[in-house]
A and B are shown apart, each in its own frame.
Chain A
Amino acid sequence: KQEVTQIPAALSVPEGENLVLNCSFTDSAIYNLQWFRQDPGKGLTSLLLIQSSQREQTSGRLNASLDKSSGRSTLYIAASQPGDSATYLCAVISAGGGNKLTFGTGTQLKVEL
């Protein structure tokens, strides 16, 4: 059974700092990995999707990397802003797991002025 873990559970940083969020998964046989952002009381917004054949994806100040063999992904946020404050979730679609996303526990990020 696929398990997804995110570390740290919570993170507080000053504005302007570069930061890294970590995601690990126990079964490396995945089709893809997706990073989401969730604001309080809101739905999930897709940030980046990395297919299993890819090593990284970039969108603006965000860069996500994938090391499938070691079961790890990182989300790098450059020059953080208060508007980046949210919960960040990673999720994987496992081979043999149907088409469902298995979610991590999330990292709650607060960027302070």
Chain B
Amino acid sequence: DAGVIQSPRHEVTEMGQEVTLRCKPISGHDYLFWYRQTMMRGLELLIYFNNNVPIDDSGMPEDRFSAKMPNASFSTLKIQPSEPRDSAVYFCASSLTPTGGTEAFFGQGTRLTVV
């Protein structure tokens, strides 16, 4: 397996534009997580899915952020409209039964810059 795949790797956009980040989890993993990493706040969970169903979106900062998982092999994180304070590295991760002692595997991340 190629691991968790994210695209794009880098995104530069103007304030007010819509941004869509994409993630392909490891095949067979039934949990998918979206994290955001900033210098000020470190790594924070935004939302996670189990079997394509959103379970906890309490970390989504505001209504401008939305996430979907239409099938087991694809998820998107959308920001509309984007703002400069959304600039960060966004990571997608996948795993099996997190509480059962299985590792979480992370993608390479998408570095988002909103100017």
| A interacts with B | yes
A103 touches B43 (CB 8 A): yes
Closest Cβ–Cβ distance, residue B93 to chain A (whole Å) = 8
Q: From the candidates B42, B44, B56, B106, name the one contacting A43 in the complex (CB within 8 A).
A: B106
Query: Main SS of chain B's interface residues?
Result: strand
Q: From the candidates B42, B55, B108, name the one contacting A98 in the complex (CB within 8 A).
A: B55
Q: Interface size bucket, A side?
A: 20 to 34
The distance in angstroms between the C-alpha atoms of A53 and B103, with both chains bound, is 15
Q: From the candidates B33, B45, B101, name the one contacting A32 in the complex (CB within 8 A).
A: B101
How many residue pairs link A and B with beta carbons under 8 A? The number is 66
Given the complex, which residues of A lie within 8 Å of B93, measured CB to CB? Answer: 44, 101
Interface residues in A77-107 (C-beta closer than 8 Å to B): 89, 91, 93, 95, 98-101, 103-106
Q: Given that A34-B104, A49-B103 are known contacts, is A100 also in contact with B91, CB under 8 Å in the complex?
A: no
A43 touches B103 (CB 8 A): no
Task: Closest A residue to B3 by CB, please name it.
Answer: A43
Query: Main SS of chain A's interface residues?
Result: strand
B103 touches A46 (CB 8 A): yes
Closest Cβ–Cβ distance, residue A95 to chain B (whole Å) = 8
Given the complex, which residues of A lie within 8 Å of B107, measured CB to CB? Answer: 43
Q: From the candidates A45, A99, A105, name the one contacting B31 in the complex (CB within 8 A).
A: A99
B43 touches A34 (CB 8 A): no
Q: From the candidates B50, B103, B106, name the one contacting A99 in the complex (CB within 8 A).
A: B50
User: Which of B31, B93, B99, B102 gathers most chain A CB within 10 Å?
Assistant: B99
B81 within 8 A of A: no
Interface residues in B60-115 (C-beta closer than 8 Å to A): 91, 93, 98-109, 111
B98 touches A31 (CB 8 A): yes
Per-position binary interface string of chain A over residues 30-42, scored 1 when its CB falls under 8 Å from any chain B CB and 0 otherwise:
0110101000011
B31 touches A89 (CB 8 A): no
Closest Cβ–Cβ distance, residue B61 to chain A (whole Å) = 15
